[in-house]
Chains A and B, each alone.
Chain A
Amino acid sequence: MITFLELLANGISVGAVYALIALGFVIIFKATEVLNFAHASLLLVGGFIVAKLHASVGFWAALLIGIAGAAVLAALIEFLVIRRANVSSHSVLAIATIGIDIVLTTELTRQIGADVLALGDPWRDQVLHLGAVSIAQTRVAALVVAAVLITAFLLAFKYTNWGIAMRATAEDSETAALMGVRRGRVSMGAWAIAGALAAVAALFLCVFPTPGLDRSTTFAAMKAFPAAILGGLDSTTGALVGGLIIGVTEALMSGYQNEMAFLGRGIGDVAPFLVMIVVLLIRPAGLFGTRELARV
Chain B
Amino acid sequence: MDVHDPRPPEDSGLVVRDLAVNYGPVLALRGVSLNVPRGSIVTVLGGNGAGKSTLLRAVSGTLRFQRGGITAGEISFDRVRLSGAAASAVVAGGVVQVPEGRRVFARMTVEENLRAGALGARDRRSAAEARQDVLTLFPVLAERAGQRAGLLSGGEQQMLAIGRALMARPRMLLLDEPTLGLAPMMAARIADTVREINARGTTVLLVEQNAAMALSLASYAYVLEVGEVVLSGPAAELAESDEVRRRYLGIEARSEDDRDDRDAPLAAASAGRPVLTRWSA
Contacts and interface: CB of A to CB of B under 8 A. Distances in A.
Are A and B in contact, CB atoms below 8 Å, in the complex? Answer: yes
Interface of A: 86, 161, 164-165, 167-168, 171-182, 290, 293, 295
B168 A171 contact: no
B116 interface: yes
B121 A295 contact: no
Contacts of A181: 88, 116, 119-120
Interface stretch (B7-15, B104-112, B199-207, B252-260): B104-112
A178 B150 CA distance: 18
19 contacts: A161-B115, A164-B116, A165-B116, A167-B107, A167-B108, A168-B108, A172-B105, A173-B65, A174-B99, A175-B99, A177-B61, A178-B99, A179-B120, A179-B164, A180-B91, A180-B168, A290-B107, A293-B107, A293-B151
A180 B120 contact: yes
B148 to A, nearest CB: 7
Nearest to B96: A178
B60 interface: yes
B185 to A, nearest CB: 23
B103 A175 contact: yes
B43 interface: no
Nearest to A170: B107
Contacts of A176: 105, 116
B65 A167 contact: no
Given A171-B107, A172-B105, A293-B106, A178 B115 contact: no
A206 to B, nearest CB: 36
A180 B119 contact: yes
Given A161-B119, A164-B115, A295-B151, A178 B106 contact: no
Interface string B84-114: 0011101110001101000101111000100
A261 to B, nearest CB: 46
Nearest to B104: A175
A184 B191 CA distance: 35
B119 A171 contact: no
Contacts of B165: 178
B278 interface: no
Indicate the size class of the contact surface on chain B. 20 to 34
B88 A171 contact: no
A169 to B, nearest CB: 10
A182 B107 CA distance: 20
A179 B99 contact: no
A175 B105 CA distance: 8
A182 B165 CA distance: 16
A254 B61 CA distance: 57
A185 B4 CA distance: 41
Contact of B88 (A172, A173, A177): A177
A182 B105 contact: no
B62 interface: yes
Nearest to B86: A182
Contacts of B106: 171, 293
A211 B62 CA distance: 51
A179 B86 CA distance: 12
A246 to B, nearest CB: 26
Contact of B117 (A86, A171, A179, A295): A179
Given A167-B105, A171-B105, A182-B86, A177 B62 contact: yes
A267 B162 CA distance: 55
Contacts of A173: 65
B67 interface: yes
Given A172-B105, A293-B151, A167 B97 contact: no
A178 B91 contact: yes
A176 B65 CA distance: 11
Given A161-B115, A293-B151, A177 B65 contact: yes
Contacts of A164: 108, 112, 115-116, 119
Nearest to A173: B65
A99 to B, nearest CB: 23
Contacts of B86: 182
Contacts of A177: 60-62, 65, 87-88
Contacts of A295: 150-151
Interface in B115-166: 115-117, 119-121, 148, 150-151, 164-165
A86 B67 contact: yes
Contact of B65 (A161, A171, A174, A293): A174
Contacts of A171: 105-108
B108 A178 contact: no
B46 to A, nearest CB: 21
B151 A180 contact: no
Nearest to A294: B150
A293 B148 CA distance: 9
The 3 closest A-B pairs by CB, nearest first: A180-B120, A180-B91, A177-B87
Contacts of A293: 106-107, 148, 150-151
B98 to A, nearest CB: 8
Most buried by B among A178, A182, A293: A178
Contacts of B150: 293, 295
A69 B229 CA distance: 53
Interface string B56-84: 00001110011100000000000000000
